[in-house]
Structure formats: C-alpha cells, structure tokens
Amino acid sequence: MPLPERLVIASRRSRLALWQAEHVRARLAALHPGLQIEILGLSTRGDEILDRSLAKVGGKGLFVKELEIALDDGRADLAVHSAKDVPMTLEPGFALAAILAREDPRDAFVSRSFARLEALPDGAVVGTSSLRREAQLRSRFPRLEVRPLRGNVETRLAKLDRGDYAAIVLAVAGLERLGLAERIGAVLDPDVSLPAAGQGALAVECREGREDLAAALAPLHDGPTGACVRAERAVSRALGGSCLVPLAAYGEIVEGGLRLRGLVASPDGTRVVRGETRGDPGAPERIGESLAGELRRAGADEILAALS
C-alpha cells in the first residue's frame, strides 16, 4: 500500500520531544525521498501541570493523550514518544508501529558541586521526577533528602543551577540528545538505579490498520531493542505499572538470550524487591510475565497492595 504524499508527526513541544520527532522525520525522509513530512507540536497535560508529581495527576498517559487525539481526528499520522512515557496498555485502536534502536538507558547524576552521589553530604537535596528513582535513592542513600522535580530538561537544570538542589537525576539519553552530555557528572549503574521500562528508546505510534505506515516504519524498527522493551513493558503491565508504582524493568540481549531485571519498591525505599530472569528474545512478553510472577512471590504484592 503506497504512502500518501504528506505525513504529519505529532510531538510534544519540548525541545527534547521535538528533537525526537525531527530524528524520526529525518530517518523517514532518507528512506522515502520526496515524501513531505511535517511536525505538529502539541502541548500535553503532562507538560502543563508542573506543580504536582505525575503520580498525583494521572501518570504517563498525560504525555500521550493529546497526541493520540491528533491521530484519531486525522491531524497527524504518527506520534513520536519516549518509550518510557507510553502507558503500558494502549488505548483501543492504537499501536506501536516501531521502536528505534535504544540509546543509553541509564540514569545520570548531575551536580555543580559534587562528582557522584556518594560524595553528597548528609541532608543534601536531590531532585527527581520519578517515584522509581526516588525509591531507589531513598533505599541506597537514606541520609539524603529527595524532593520532586518537574519540568522539561532545561527547566530542571535551571533549578539545579540556581541552587534549589545539590544534585538532580535525569535520563542519560535525554541529555545526550540535547547536546548536554557535558552536564553528566556520573552515569548510574543499573544496580544503583534500575531504568524505567522503555528508557532510552523512541516509540512511534499510529492508528491500528495503517498498513502503509507499518511498512514505511519497518526499517526504523530495531529487533533487539523491541524485544527488550516489550519484555520490560510486560513486567510493568503484569504488575499494574504506572507512575503510582515505583517499578523498574531493564532488558538486555546477552549471548543471544534476553536478560531481564525488575524491581518493585515502596515509595520511601524501605522495601525493595528485585528479580532477574532470562529467556528467548522471540517471546519477550512471556519473559516479562515470568519475572512479574517472580517479583510477586518475593513480596511485590504486599508493596502493591499498600499503594492501592
């Protein structure tokens, strides 16, 4: 099925989101010379509500709803997301048509005065936007004070620079995409801060049934990243994952198999349940569901029940 002469990509208006949309636009333009591709910048509820944590205002769906409305009413053909921002269960009628090759999925320590987390003095204030990071920081560094930090990457860095925080934790991939890698003081090992499901990967969403778009996007899809992200999302989905749950999942292709690590924690970090499993990359959802069961048996259900 041939493509239309013009495609529109829906994107959030932040500089990082527009960089990601432009990246996909450039890849598609190289594959399909002559195709007109435009970017439609939209403001989402997640971008507008900055005085409360995502957990308190509706979670990940706040970053994709307006983009899905644009897909639904025909203003856009595609939507580009950070894969970690996509709800674990899509609304009916939508599909992830491609997951691009993952960049660095780890978290970054950023500070003007300190080289690493271990160097922070007792009571130092660390800012983060996610319960996942907050719980892991509180568990490993209970002597630090962790406070919420909302806004786009530039806004968070500005709050650090004016002295509101001694340090902040951001995604490595976002800083690198914006040309801000020099701000990274240290990259946090997954054993210190296990990444979020999908972190570091871009996902392209469209309406179900758009076989023309699926074919056009197929060369952009990265099989190993797709398998890892599908496994990670399966863990989170099986555990009811949302911004209300401090949950992490990270998959890697190791010696031909898929190694999947997961974590569920209480928000205060006093309880942390970890698990790991391996399996066939050809069945990523099965691996994710298996790890979710392992985490439940290890005590995740008790943590989840306390959060419900």
* Contacts of residue 114, Cβ cutoff 8 Å, sequence gap at least 6: 120, 124, 166, 167, 185
Extended beta strands in the chain, E state: 6-12, 36-42, 78-82, 94-99, 107-110, 125-128, 145-148, 167-171, 186-188, 202-207, 247-254, 257-265, 272-279
What's the full length of the chain, in residues? 308
The residue written with tokens 């979020």 in the block is 196
SS3 of the chain: helix, strand, coil, percent, to 5: 40, 25, 35
Catalytic residue among 47, 51, 72, 85: 85
Q: Give which of 195, 26, 19 is closest to 104, Cα–Cα.
A: 195
| 212 is known as an active-site residue | no
Token pair of 103, please? 């960049």
Q: Label the pairing between strands 202-207 and 78-82.
A: antiparallel
| Dist. CA 237–CA 196, nearest whole Å | 13
Tokens of 253: 């292709």
Paired sense of beta strands 125-128 and 167-171, if any: parallel
- Active-site residue list: 85
